[in-house]
Structure 1
Amino acid sequence: MLKRTLMLAAVATTLSVQAFAGHCPMDAKAIDNALPRSDLNEMQKAEVKALRDEGMRLHANGKHHESEKTMAHAMRMLLESRLE
């Protein structure tokens, strides 16, 4: 019984990680679409692009949690520029 439970937990974890792993490219596309319409200055746009690129590098290296945090930071900068 314990072996079966552990096996199910391992499968569930693997599937959930794979589901979240596909989120990074969608975030990058959202950033790419929003950046030209943003109110950021050129230096801020360069920072957002750098964060986006770093997020995709982390994604490619399998570091999805760090990638999501980096992409979220870039998206937060875009959002805050619209609120000011």
Structure 2
Amino acid sequence: MLKRTLMLAAVAATLSMQAFAGHCPMDAKAIDNALPRSNLNEMEKAEIQALRDEGMRLHENGDHRMSEKKMATAMRKLLDSSLE
């Protein structure tokens, strides 16, 4: 019984990690679509692009938690700029 429970937990953890891992490219695409339409100056755009690129590098290296943090920071900066 314990063995079965542990196996189910391992499968659930693996499936959930795969679902989150696929989120990074979607975030990158959203940033890519929004960045050219933003009213940011070139330095701000470069900063957001650098965050996006770092996020994708982390994603490709398997560090999805940090990747999503970088993507979230980039997306927050984009959202904040459009509110001003």
State the TM-score, normalized to the length of structure 2. 0.98
Determine whether 1:4 maps to 2:7.
no
Opposite residue 8 of structure 2, the aligned amino acid is L
Unaligned runs of 5+ in 2: none
**SS of residue in 2 equivalent to 1:62:** coil
Opposite residue 39 of structure 1, the aligned amino acid is N
Structure 1 residue 40: Cα displacement: 1.1
Aligned pairs for 1:50-69 (under 5 A) are 50-69=50-69
**Distance across 2 between alignment mates of 1:47 and 1:82:** 16
Determine whether 1:16 maps to 2:16.
yes
The answer for the alignment partner of 1:77 in structure 2 is 77
- List, as ranges, runs of 4+ consecutive aligned residues in structure 1 with deviation greater than 2 Å: none
Percent of aligned pairs with the same residue? 82
Determine whether 1:45 maps to 2:45.
yes
**Distance across 2 between alignment mates of 1:24 and 1:36:** 19
Structure 1 residue 39: Cα displacement: 1.4
Unaligned runs of 5+ in 1: none
**Distance across 1 between alignment mates of 2:36 and 2:53:** 16
Matched pairs, number: 84
